Amino acid sequence: MKVIILGAGQVGASVAEGLVSEENDITVVDSDGVRLMALQDKLDLRAVVGNAATPSVLREAGAADADMIIAVTQSDQSNLVACKLAQSVFNVPTRIARLRSRDFLEDAGLLSEENFAVDFALCPEQVITDYICRLIEFPEALQVLNFARGRVSLVAVRAYEGGLLVGQPIKQMREHLPPEMDARIAAIFRRDQPVFPEGDTVVEAGDEVFLLAAAEHIRPVLRQLRRMMRPVERIMIAGGGNIGIRLAKTLEKRYEVKVIEGRKERAEVLANELDNALVLLGDATDEELLEQENIAEMDLFLALTNDDEDNIMSGSLAKRLGCQRVVALINRRAYAEMIEGGPIDIGISPAQVSIGTLLAHVRQGDVAEVHSLRRGAAEALEIVAHGDAKTSKVVGKRIDQIDWPSGVTVAAVVRNFEQAVIVGQTDDWTAITRHGEVVIAHHDTLIEAEDHVIVFCTRKKLVKKVEKLFQVGFHFL
């Protein structure tokens, strides 16, 4: 597949890294020649220096015979113009744009074929906001991801000394769960190395464990491996940029929120747009300010500025002054790996969080969801099985009959989305329903046509092999 990526920033570079392979011919366009050279030295791709929103540059990049344009420059206007040119001048089949402004995202008609011709709009700031909100709901988790339209949750936790399952084989987890509940340990990472989870595998304290279960069952399952922390009530946000204001608006109705912003003009904008959150003009690395605002009583400190060093410093200071939990945005991967698990509990890479949404629209086969795990080292896929026993390598077969690559775990299958399932009660008369049947995968689980299969790949290079397994033979109609 021939793909042109417009923009070589954090998102563009991450997308390029995720797509470079023998099957993909990648060209990256950016006006910064130095940045392009660095990316070209690192990855096997072609680079074009120039303005991505001009026909001549798109032509030089090969738009005339491209299969896809991914416009992820810093400018919404450039991304929109590039998509329109790709459609009207070069007839590129698939056009994806990164958009930050709500104006474009809220009016779907602007992105239609007749207007800017955007097939899929990616808003990284909103993706990151949703991601952080899930972490707030599960304060004991390192990562919380959803699959199958929210029917299944995958949660990464750190196993602690004294947990019910720690020191025992994982097959005993079923003994701790009610009969109507099932779950799967999809992967274990011990001292940064993957441990393939089998029935006799023993969980050790300190292991990073990825638990998967139906969304309504994930909390009871979590209790097997983690102490349940008290619910989050008080949150302090450092940084009132695009992510900070989106998050504050989302959280202020349910939580006590304080936002620290260092720019006077921006602080005034925040104060006008936020209803309940308290906006503070100041420096989040100011120890006196944090103490005055009772940082020790905060349940969560979120360092969300555009500066990695500021986020690390303010987050470390907040933890030293007594804040229970600290999350920081860290753009540089080396920084994220270095600081996580110290004063900062979770380091979030914005590019790695948002890339999964985009990759789901790029992957070969019918991939419904992609989540980048462990800062891009591993991936979890939700992939739809098509065909029948004659045309597919997976349909009509038990999981133990399929030749899965080493390092791949099938965690769950979701089927029959038209089927309503009662998952709880709000009162004696009102049932809580969800759509789709969740089947936690075991060795004898049969994969059926149109099943959504959730697969965990401990190494990124395994993804292509999994996609090939799900490809349907040519004679399938």
Q: What is the mean pLDDT of residues 60-81?
A: 94
Tell which of 222, 245, 275 closes a domain. 222
Q: Which domain holds residue 292?
A: 234-324
Task: Kindly give, in sequence order, each residue whose CB lies less than 8 Å from that of residue 455, ignoring residues fewer than 6 positions away.
Answer: 380, 381, 382, 383, 408, 409, 410, 411, 466
Q: What is the CA radius of gyration of the chain?
A: 23
Question: Is residue 334 assigned to a domain?
Answer: no
Residue 446 CB neighbour total at 10 angstroms: 13
> Within a domain: residue 332?
no
Which of 98, 122, 146 lies at the terminal end of a domain, its last residue? 122
Whether 251 and 288 share a structural domain:
yes
132 with 115, same domain?
no
Phi, psi dihedrals of residue 127, rounded to the nearest 5°: -60, -45
| Distance from C-alpha of 317 to C-alpha of 85, rounded to nearest angstrom | 48
249-275 confidence digits (pLDDT tens): 999 999 999 999 999 999 999 999 999
Place of tokens 């390092």: 407
pTM: 0.85
Contact between 261 and 286 (Cβ < 8 Å):
no
Residues 142 and 110 in one domain: no
Does 21 lie in the same domain as 63? yes
- Pick 473 or 135 by higher pLDDT: 135
The total domain count for the chain is 4
pLDDT digits (tens, 9 = 90+) for 392-427: 999 999 999 999 998 899 999 999 887 777 666 555
- Quick one: tokens of 253? 């109705």
pLDDT in tens, 355-391: 777 777 776 558 888 887 876 678 899 999 998 888 8
190 and 107, same structural domain? no
Token reading at 470 = 């799900």
**81 with 151, same domain?**
no
Q: What is the pLDDT of residue 179?
A: 80
Q: CATH number of the domain at 241, please.
A: 3.40.50.720
pLDDT tens-digit readout, 120-165:
898 888 899 999 999 998 888 888 989 988 899 999 988 887 777 7
Are 6 and 115 in a shared domain? Answer: yes
Better-scored residue on pLDDT, 71 or 458: 71
Average per-residue pLDDT for the chain: 87
Identify whether 357 is part of a domain: no
- pLDDT tens-digit readout, 205-243: 888 889 999 988 888 777 766 666 788 999 999 999 989
Whether residue 465 sits in one domain with residue 369: yes
Q: Which residues contact 248 (CB under 8 A, 6 or more apart)?
A: 237, 240, 257, 259, 270, 274, 277
106 and 134 both lie in a single domain: no
Question: Which residue, among 362, 364, 365, 324, has the nearest Cα to 343 in the 3D structure?
Answer: 324
| Triad 212, 213, 218: Cα angle to 5° | 100
Q: Which CATH number covers residue 448?
A: 3.30.70.1450
Q: Are residues 117 and 132 in the same domain?
A: no
CB 404 within 8 A of CB 441: no
User: Residues 137, 109: one domain?
Assistant: no
With a cut of 50, say whether residue 468 has pLDDT above it: yes
pLDDT of residue 204 exceeding 50: yes
145-155 residue pLDDT tens: 899 888 999 99
Q: How confident is the model at residue 474 (pLDDT cuts 50, 70, 90)?
A: very low
Q: Output 37 or 17, whichever has higher pLDDT.
A: 37
